[in-house]
Amino acid sequence: MGKSISRLVQQISNYSGLKESDSLARKLEFILKGLSENDLDQWVQSIELDPYKQELPALVEDLNNHETYFFRDEAQMRILETKILPEMVKRKLLAGDKSIKIWSAACSSGEETYTLAMMLLKTFIDEKLSVKLHEGLILPPHGWLIEINGTDISRQVICKAKEGIYESAGNGLSSFRNFPPAYMEYFTLSKEYEDTLGNKKKIYRVNEVLKSFVNFDVFNLNSPMPPKSGYDLVLCRNLMIYLHDEAQEKVQRVIKSSLSPGGMFMFSAVDKLCNSVGIETHREMGCVYYEKM
Ligand X SMILES: C[S@@+](CC[C@H](N)C(=O)[O-])C[C@H]1O[C@@H](n2cnc3c(N)ncnc32)[C@H](O)[C@@H]1O
Give the amino acid at 151: T
Give the nearest distance from C-beta 41 to ligand X in angstroms: 26
Q: Residue 218's beta-bridge partner residues?
A: 152
Query: Contact between 246 and ligand X (CB under 6 A)?
Result: no
Task: Output 270 or 293, the one with its CB closest to ligand X.
Answer: 270
Query: Contact between 64 and ligand X (CB under 6 A)?
Result: yes
Dihedral pair phi/psi, residue 208, rounded to 5°: -70, -30
Q: Name which position in 68, 76, 123, 252 contacts ligand X (CB under 6 A).
A: 68
Query: Contact between 108 and ligand X (CB under 6 A)?
Result: yes
Span from 139-147, 188-196, 234-242, 275-283 in contact with ligand X (CB under 6 A): 234-242
- State the sign of the Cα–Cα–Cα–Cα dihedral 238, 242, 247, 249: positive
**Do 251 and 240 form a contact (C-beta atoms < 8 A)?**
yes
Instruction: Kindly determine how many residues on this chain lie close enough to bind ligand X according to the rule CB under 6 A.
Output: 22
List, in sequence order, the alpha helices (H) in 17-54: 22-31, 37-49
Task: Output 108 or 149, the one with its CB closest to ligand X.
Answer: 108
Span from 4-12, 29-37, 147-155, 273-281 in contact with ligand X (CB under 6 A): 147-155
* Nearest of 91, 116, 112 to residue 237 by alpha carbon: 112
Taking each helix axis as running N to C, give the angle between helix 85-95 and helix 111-126, from 0 to 180 degrees, rounded to the nearest 10. Answer: 60
Query: Which residues of the chain form contacts with ligand X (CB under 6 A)?
Result: 16-17, 64-68, 72, 106-108, 112, 152-154, 157, 220-222, 237-239
